[in-house]
Amino acid sequence: MNRALGLTGLILALGGSLLAISVILTGLKRSRPELMRMGRAYSFVVLLGATMAVAAMERAFIQRDYTLKYVAEHGSSTTPALFNVASMWSALEGSILLWGLILAGYLVVVAHKFRKRLDDSLVAWALITMFSVCVFFFGLMLTAANPFRGNIPIPGFDGPGPNPLLQNHILMAFHPPMLYLGYVGFTVPFAFAIAALVTGRVGEGWLVETRRWTLFAWGFLTAGIILGAWWSYEVLGWGGYWGWDPVENASLLPWLTGTAYLHSVMVQERRGMLRVWNLSLLCATFSLTILGTFLTRSGVVASVHAFSAGSVGPILLGFFALVVAVSVGLIGLRGDQLRSVGHIDSPLSREGAFLANNVVFAALAFVVLLGTVFPLVIEATTGDTLSVGPPYFSRMTMPLGLTLLLLMAIAPVLPWRKASGELLRERLWWPAWTGLAAVLLAVLLGATGVAPLLAFGLGGFAAGSALRQIALATKRLGWRGFVGRTNGGMVVHLGVIVIGVALAASMSFMSQGEFTLKEGETARVAGHTLQFLSSRTVDQPNRVELLARIKVDGEQVYEPKLNRYRQSGQTIPTPSVKASLRDDIMMSITTAPSESDPSLGLRVIVQPMVTWLWIGGLIMVIGTVLSLFPGRRRNPLDAVSAAAPIEQVSA
């Protein structure tokens, strides 16, 4: 029954998408608004089909219905309830099923939001684009990535459950959905960008309709990346939170281009500039989400995050190539209409700073993309295996990151058009002193090294600038000084600065050691004392846990453990972390005590300010939410940037 229900849902979603495209195109061609308005009804059909398919798969996991091959490969009677539900997106086919559900949800929300303007050609083409993306993904699920393939289990069969790494931390239930809400959310602004190019309505009107959608998707992607880093830190036990893994990079790439767009779109709205650049950024962001899907689900990279190889790789790569070709072709077709009506009067202006900001973000994206894709290209063309590791990324991205901190300090205080030297000196006085104070404080606390001190100084400089803007806004507007795109953006900046400083501190001043301890013995690392008290074994339904009791600094007791999973036979260590605002102490078992050798092998890693990474991420999310609320409306400096409603934007 689960198989029949799931396949019916997928067919319903695919059929609804195809019919919607046909009906809306007919309405456009024959100028029949009633047909164009039917797109909203078909969006509910797609959502109904996607919901049926997901419900069928979740029901199959709960019932341990091993007549479905996907459940037989990734389900188990011993998997805890929470991870059993999350097992749906723990592998290839189920993750694409979750993608389809989220895409259908966005489709319904867009159709409902523009329900009174469905006969507008721009909205109609945006819906056609979204329905077309639905056709691809639901078609993929009915062919190469079908999660409802049948299986004939032998009597007494029990599945292996999900990968052990995916069932030992609660973030597995939240990180992938959050990431997908960001990934898939970029479909909406991409759809309106394509619609603007198709209709020739490439002025500033379509930006108004997509601004919050882009911010919404960007916020979820930000939260997903932060949760992923936290999950990696808590689960993998190597002491890091970002290893420049190809799949990690795949999520970072659309975040970089999306961030660049959120900055440069303000220049187009205000001055009518960067039209080609903004359209290109939106198309690139969506294209990079498809490329990230290819990297994650094609099996071309070896990663703890990647899924097994299958036949979906060439299909995803082909879809990526199609999206790029269509985007480039349409931008080229509308080249004459995309010419900017304004120009940058001075590099010392807000538009000049935004342009510099975009150049740095583009350089960052290029560096990450090159380091991620180049080894794959070499292997595909020559057969040679090439590895690009963290040293390349750290060396290439560090100067760009420091440049971004500098721009974050200067850009908020710059006026539009042109700034005088006297104005800059006045507005940057207190931020500069804040930066100097940050360096002095870091030195007093024992920080050394040019790069870390430069990061602390620029971080303080940028934080002072952001706090200055927030203080001025709240002085003028009261509590509304915290809301709106500009003011909320300053809160986001503070979060980015906190993360930047925490990255510099945790990566530059990490201490570690490996010890062999008998019960009662102690070890010292970076001024901390750790004492091995005892060990014990705990039976869980899906695994056997060996826990070591470690007393830290004579106070609290922590229990790192080794998990031996019954079904797979794998042994996975789970670290224990003593977190504080000052530093984190991560303890991980390397060798378990035994009857022949009661000694414990323990790896200890001490890193300062790791907790501030998660605090910075929370501040960024809060700032994103504040940015979604309407701020104080301003009259644009140029008439061209007065954004008209979609109905009034002509070709």
My answer on whether 98 and 196 are in the same domain is no
Domain assignment present for residue 464? The answer is no
Domain boundary among 379, 408, 437: 408
Q: Which residue has the tokens 């004392």?
A: 529
Q: How confident is the model at residue 649 (pLDDT cuts 50, 70, 90)?
A: very low
Shared domain check, 224 and 126:
no
pLDDT at 342: 63
Asked if residue 209 and residue 128 are part of one domain, the reply reads no
Kindly tell me if the per-residue pLDDT of 602 is higher than 60: yes
- Asked which of 124-138, 412-426, 531-545 is least confident by mean pLDDT, the reply is 412-426
pLDDT over 80 at 437, yes or no: yes
Helices (H), 334-349: none
Please, which residues bridge with residue 602 across strands?
515, 589
Domain extent at residue 128 = 1-162
In a shared domain, residues 294 and 261: yes
Phi, psi (rounded to 5 degrees) for 529: -110, 130
Q: Of all residues in the chain, what percent carry a pLDDT higher than 70?
A: 93
pLDDT at position 606 is 93
pLDDT digits (tens, 9 = 90+) for 123-170: 999 999 999 999 999 999 999 999 999 999 898 888 888 888 888 788
Determine the Cα angle at 16 with ends 13 and 22, to 5°: 145
pLDDT value of residue 300: 58
Residue 236 shares a structural domain with residue 328: yes
Residues 147 and 197 placed together within one structural domain of the fold:
no
Q: What pLDDT does residue 389 have? A: 79
- Whole-number Å distance between alpha carbons of 102 and 13: 13
> What are the tens digits of pLDDT across the range 35-79?
999 989 999 999 999 999 999 999 999 999 999 999 999 998 888
Q: Looking at the structure, tell me whether residues 335 and 361 fall in a common domain.
A: yes
Stretch (H or E) spanning 586:
strand 583-591
Report phi then psi at 548, rounded to 5. Answer: -110, 130
In the chain, the largest separation of any two C-alpha atoms, in whole Å, equals 84
Residue 355 CA to residue 126 CA, distance in Å, equals: 28
Residue 634 falls inside a structural domain: no
- Phi, psi (5° rounding) for residue 576? -120, 135
Residue-level length of the chain: 651
**Residue 153 forms part of a structural domain:** yes
In a shared domain, residues 236 and 362:
yes
Residue 241 lies in a domain: yes
The verdict on 216 and 364 lying in the same domain is yes
Which segment of 71-80, 199-208, 458-467, 582-591 scores lowest on mean pLDDT? 199-208
pLDDT, tens digit, for every residue of 568-580?
Answer: 778 888 899 999 9
Q: What is the DSSP letter of 150?
A: B
**Per-residue pLDDT for 348 more than 80?**
no
**445 lies in some domain:** no
Task: State the average pLDDT over residues 345-365.
Answer: 85
For residue 635, what pLDDT band results from cuts at 50, 70 and 90? Answer: very low
Give the residue-averaged pLDDT of 362-390.
83
pLDDT in tens, 605-619: 999 999 999 999 999
Reported as a single tens digit per residue, the pLDDT across 65-124 is: 999 999 999 998 888 888 889 889 888 889 999 999 999 999 999 999 999 888 889 999
Interval 462-466 mean pLDDT: 93
Hunting for tokens 């100067």 — which residue is that? Answer: 399
| pLDDT score at 349 | 79
What is residue 498's predicted lDDT score, i.e. its pLDDT? 95
394: amino acid identity, one letter: S
| 371 and 236 housed in the same domain | yes
CB 644 within 8 A of CB 205: yes
**DSSP code for 90:** S
* Cα distances (angstroms) measured from residue 261 to each of 138, 187, 252, 301, 517: 29, 14, 14, 29, 53
Residue 55 placed within a domain:
yes
Please write the tens of the pLDDT for every residue from 278-308: 889 999 999 999 988 888 776 555 554 444 4
Q: Which residues contact 116 (CB under 8 A, 6 or more apart)?
A: none
Q: How many domains does the chain have?
A: 3
Residue-averaged pLDDT of the chain: 87
- The per-residue pLDDT for 644 is 35
Does 354 map to a domain? yes
Contact 168, 235 (CB under 8 A): yes
Q: Are 626 and 487 in contact (CB under 8 A)?
A: yes
pLDDT classification of 205: cutoffs 50, 70, 90:
confident
In a domain? residue 145: yes
- 290 and 398 both lie in a single domain: yes
Identify which has the larger pLDDT, 227 or 237. Answer: 227
Lowest mean pLDDT among 8-17, 192-201, 634-643: 634-643
**For residue 451, pLDDT beyond 50:** yes
Let me know whether 254 and 222 are in one domain.
yes
